[in-house]
């Protein structure tokens, strides 16, 4: 796996030191696409039903990327083609083995002792690490522990305080979407994304309509309005966390239980942190056609 990705990067004339290597084979297309949403340079090993076209359909149009498709490496029909995702869905391919997915706006990292995704040195950052008010670090620490963000995951962050938790999840290597209806919130998220050098997508609009075209989340995080949990928890594949006033905790418990979660909660810093974990797999449904714009934000340096 690593050797094949290294050959593909070499043939494309790209350094391998900062590349993340994932496989879309054996039902892992969704997780591979999430890795491509969150990282600047990803070598994706392809297979039947998980080739350049399928990967492009997962990412386009919300996630702008450049594809380098590598076919028959070291073989007589070796071909290295650089294409846009839209082209990848219509071109005929001959035994594609690796797709290099590159962020055309990203700055690649310098060589390091660790290849691929680097985990954060610390998490549950101080409140002054963010542009707009964030939940206390203790609350975010518990939320992160229950969400379990990792490479290949997608996390939704909704509510009046959306943004800081999405940034924290992105620092763990997960793909993240923050739902923000007003411009001031989006500007604050832009500032935090740039400051922490991560990638976060912003869905502009109000639930539930804005959620319909989004890819299925592995985990969801909601703050403030308890009704938000009813809109997004049924689609969460693994975990849900709601940070609400203590008086709303019972309603969140009921919502998560109805959606198939095993729940628990704790009062921390004057807030109720209600969490749920699925005990059975939830089928993944394809997203609907986009109805509202989804903006992908990356570090702008």
**Domains assigned to the chain:** 2-102 (3.30.950.10), 127-297 (3.40.50.150)
What integer pLDDT is reported at residue 17 of this predicted model? 87
What integer pLDDT is reported at residue 118 of this predicted model? 73
Distance CA 202, CA 31 (A): 19
Q: pTM for the complete prediction?
A: 0.91
What integer pLDDT is reported at residue 110 of this predicted model? 64
Helix (H) or strand (E) holding 23: strand 20-23
Task: Judge whether 5 and 23 are in contact, CB under 8 Å.
Answer: no
C-alpha pair distances (Å), 259 with each of 21, 55, 215: 34, 29, 18
Distance CA 150, CA 34 (A): 10
What integer pLDDT is reported at residue 300 of this predicted model? 34
Burial tier of 299 (Cβ tally within 10 Å: 0-12, 13-18, 19+): middle
Distance CA 218, CA 220 (A): 7
What integer pLDDT is reported at residue 61 of this predicted model? 81
Q: Chunked in runs of 10, what are the mean pLDDT values of the chain (301 residues)? A: 93 93 96 96 96 95 92 95 95 95 78 73 95 94 98 97 96 97 93 95 93 96 94 96 97 96 97 93 60 50 30
Phi, psi of 14 (to 5 degrees): -115, 140
Sign of CA dihedral 110, 116, 121, 127: positive
What integer pLDDT is reported at residue 287 of this predicted model? 54
Nearest to residue 176, comparing CAs of 206, 195, 202?
202
Q: Which residues share a beta bridge with 157? A: 178, 221
What integer pLDDT is reported at residue 144 of this predicted model? 98
What integer pLDDT is reported at residue 104 of this predicted model? 86
């Amino acid at each position: 796996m690593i050797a094949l990705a290294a050959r593909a990067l070499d043939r494309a004339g790209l350094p391998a030191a900062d590349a993340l290597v994932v496989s879309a084979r054996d039902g892992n297309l969704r997780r591979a696409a999430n890795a491509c949403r969150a990282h600047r340079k990803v070598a994706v090993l392809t297979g039947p039903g998980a080739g350049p076209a399928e990967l492009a359909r997962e990412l386009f149009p919300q996630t702008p990327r450049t594809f380098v498709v590598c076919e028959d490496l070291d073989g007589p029909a070796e071909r290295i083609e650089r294409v846009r995702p839209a082209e990848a869905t219509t071109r005929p391919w001959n035994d594609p083995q690796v797709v290099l997915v590159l962020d055309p706006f990203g700055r690649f990292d310098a060589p390091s002792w660790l290849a691929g995704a680097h985990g954060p040195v610390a998490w549950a950052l101080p409140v002054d690490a963010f542009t707009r008010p964030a939940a206390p670090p203790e609350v975010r620490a518990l939320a992160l522990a229950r969400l379990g963000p990792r490479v290949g995951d997608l996390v939704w962050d909704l509510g009046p305080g959306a943004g800081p938790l999405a940034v924290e999840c992105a620092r763990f290597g997960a793909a993240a979407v923050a739902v923000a209806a007003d411009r001031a919130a989006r500007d604050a998220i832009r500032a935090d994304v740039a400051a922490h050098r991560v990638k976060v997508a912003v869905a502009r609009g109000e639930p539930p309509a804005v959620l319909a075209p989004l890819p299925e989340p592995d985990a969801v995080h909601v703050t403030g309005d308890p009704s938000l949990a009813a809109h997004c928890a049924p689609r969460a594949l693994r975990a849900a966390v709601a940070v609400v006033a203590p008086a709303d905790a019972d309603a969140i418990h009921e919502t998560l239980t109805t959606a198939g979660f095993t729940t628990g909660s704790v009062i921390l810093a004057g807030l109720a942190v209600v969490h749920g974990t699925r005990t059975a797999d939830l089928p993944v449904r394809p997203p609907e056609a986009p109805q509202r714009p989804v903006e992908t934000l990356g570090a702008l340096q």
